Structure 1
Amino acid sequence: MAVWDKKILILWGFMFLLAGAVGQSVNYPRNVCAMKGSTVTLPCTFKTLKSVTENGKEVLIKINRVVWCPNHLICQGSTPSVYDSESKNNNPRYRYLGDKNGNCTLQITNLQKEDNATFRFRVETNRGQATFAGPPGVNVTVNFTQMEIKTESNGEFKRGETLTLKCNAMCTFHQLEVTWFRDGNALPETGPTLQLGPLAAKDSGNYTCGLTNNSITLSQPYSLHVEDEEEAGDVNLPLIAGVVVGVLLAVFTLVLVLCIIKRKQAATAADQLQPSVEGEQKRPDIIYSDIQHPAEQEPQEDISYAAVQFKQKNQARPAAEAEDGVIYSSVASRG
């Protein structure tokens, strides 16, 4: 049996070469890398013969069956397949987006470990010479690492600038269904690239990305800080004004308190001086005269005092009144 299988492989290999020689072919990408849990599309087109000649007659080619299979050279017979147009039990993760007229595109959703394989497309027609599988196939690699956000700039930006964030899976992939988050909240933008700008303060935050409905691929956060000079000025102006007003109020209050204290001190001092003033008013008048040293005194005129007493007849006057009746007079003589 092994020898027979080997002969079949050789035969089909020869048919591959023959198909290429007569214009039958399958075209698809050689390598595709995608994240586990993502959806990947394998673009594919094919060409087959329109007709063949048998016994001198032209026979039109009709496609009866198309097949996608993993890790098999020719996908013939009962070879396990991921899609078979004649089967009703195809795995729903594998969706055929093509037709039987030249489009053979296959889409794989929720990519898993078993999808690390080489997928090939096979066409079966009503004539053997127009039936073939297209080499070399698509080599699919499944990546199990986290997504990564990449950008050419650091996390510090000014208001009005622009920023592009790329959700990278460390390999080439197709139709990556990405969800973006800012501070844990999902953003409406999807796809591997996120465009931000013109930036404002509201754009600041921690950004993450990951495959839609696949939390294990969530990237490490990218921290973005936007310096908004205009908003910063609007915030600081009232603060500065408040500080100035507060300082002025404090100075005014201090001056007012000092004035009140000074007035109270002046009133207290006035109260303390008031009794002595009243006492001085009640004391008899005192006449002060300058007393100079004899040496300093100017020569004065000689003054003689004489007392003249008048007595009234037949009247007796008290001694006190008599004393009041004494009149002093001064007699000045010039030396």
Structure 2
Amino acid sequence: MTSEISRCSFVVGVALMSVRMAPPLPLIFLLMIHGVSSAGWGVSYSPSHICALKDSSVIMNCTYTYPTGYKIENVFWIKCPIKDFPDLSEDPEYSQRLQYLGDKQQNCTIRLSHVTLKDSHEYYFRFITNITEGRWIGRPGVTLTVTDLQVESPERVTEGDSVRLTCKSSCTLTDRATFIWYRNSHPLTERRDRNNELLLQSVRREDAGRYSCAVHGHNHISPAVQLNVMYPPESVSVSISPSGEIVSGASVTLICSSDSNPPAEIYWYKGRTFVGSGRIFSISKISSDDSGEYKSRSINEHGEKYSDVTLNVMYPPRSVSVLVNGSGEIVSGDSVTLICSSDSNPPALNFSWFKENESSAVGSGQSFSALQSGRFYCQAHNQHGSQRSDAVTVTVKDPPESVSVSISPSGEIVSGDSVTLICSSDSNPPAEISWFKGRTFVGSGRIFSISKISSDDSGEYTCRSINDHGEKYSDVTLNVMYPPRNVSVLINGSGEIVSGDSVTLICSSDSNPPALNFSWFKENESSAVGSGQSFSALQSGRFYCQAHNQHGSQRSDAVTVTVKVIDSVFSFNGKDESVQTSS
């Protein structure tokens, strides 16, 4: 528009220059060219500037005057005051839209319909009288600016924010405008006012959509602008496909639905373990191991939300087994209870019992009482199938009886010998044999051997004979014989005596049987100086004892006895001398 108007002004300027350079014309013509009212000549526009909405109709109010005595022969509107002054009513772009509402007296008003942005120009009214010099152009003209509407809005808002949308035009509309707002092409009837702004306080997700605006009474609607309301995930739910009972081997799909903006990212967890991502989580050939609680996590930058679902996978009995309430071995006349267990979903309620190599069932129910020997198995059933267990053996048995222990070799046991204890037991099945010395476990098996037996091995030994039906004990005592050891001499006093007194020495030893024979010796003398467990020493010297039993003997270390002599008289070289000495 600006360039067109400028272009028109430039042309007018050129035309005026041409006029000034031309030979003098009558004064009245020059005044007409300049559009200046003179001597009753003039054109008036009201208003002189019009801002019109695209596709609307514009009324350019216009009046004109001229001196008395002139007769109007032609009136028309032009866009640019240039040579030949083309009549807009003859312009193909205007001829169908321009309507002259005036007359040939004073009124020069026109209506321009369905205005477009290209119609933005300065327009002039021109009239021609019956006198050659009586021509007039109303300058300055009326300026028409055609505008469209644009919605100005933030691209992204968060739920709860306050949002202001503005319906903007390039100029201020001349007519007093009442604005209408549309969301998704539907009018917001509650939002019709003279304010070109739409205020959404505490915006909701339902307010999202394509917004456009218009002016009441006009057809033109602005291009729609998308208002994108961001909000965290809501209404999160998980559906299972196919719905209904889930049977092992089927393919199952979990679908997470979530309402959020922007769209949430979906993550899947089984318990606390991450198992996948995306809106759809599929399990092909599902198994009982896939049973459990699944959780979908729906998250975007505004928040997160979870939804849980439980998969309960149905499957026929498996891992069917027989539990024997006891050992499976019973004492004659008793019974053993067999219990059938299975892993199935739903739990098996029907059970059948069979004896191996027999075609007919021998019982029903989850438990069965077996009264005889044989191999038995059960078969578990639910609506998805059945499975049989492995067979278990039931045996009629006896607890241990007639338990006894024998010692080999028999007779007296002497330290250093090899001794064998043998436990005999009558039981079915054969009993397990355990050996104890006192309460201490020392071995297992029917035979318990001790090589190079010592006195430490003496004591009471117990044979425990046990099987699944009972236990019994038998005891035996080992008494190990050994020669004297740890032989020592105890001095009854200090070991120092006065001449004429004596000191008692006592011989002690460890032996089995106890030593009864004792011999006393003075060191470095071969002959015994005494016998018995005690000995009275009357003289100085080093003495030891030797203890004896039927298995051997051992001597002690020597001890020292000292005799002190006071004021004794001795003869040396025929002379008597009194001395104090010890011997």
Give the TM-score normalised by the residue count of structure 1. Answer: 0.43
Q: RCO higher in 1 or 2 (8 Å CA, sep ≥ 6)?
A: 1
Q: Whose helix proportion is higher, 1 or 2?
A: 1
Answer 1 or 2: which has greater strand percent. Answer: 2
**TM (normalized to structure 2)?**
0.27
Point out the structure with max Rg over C-alpha: 2
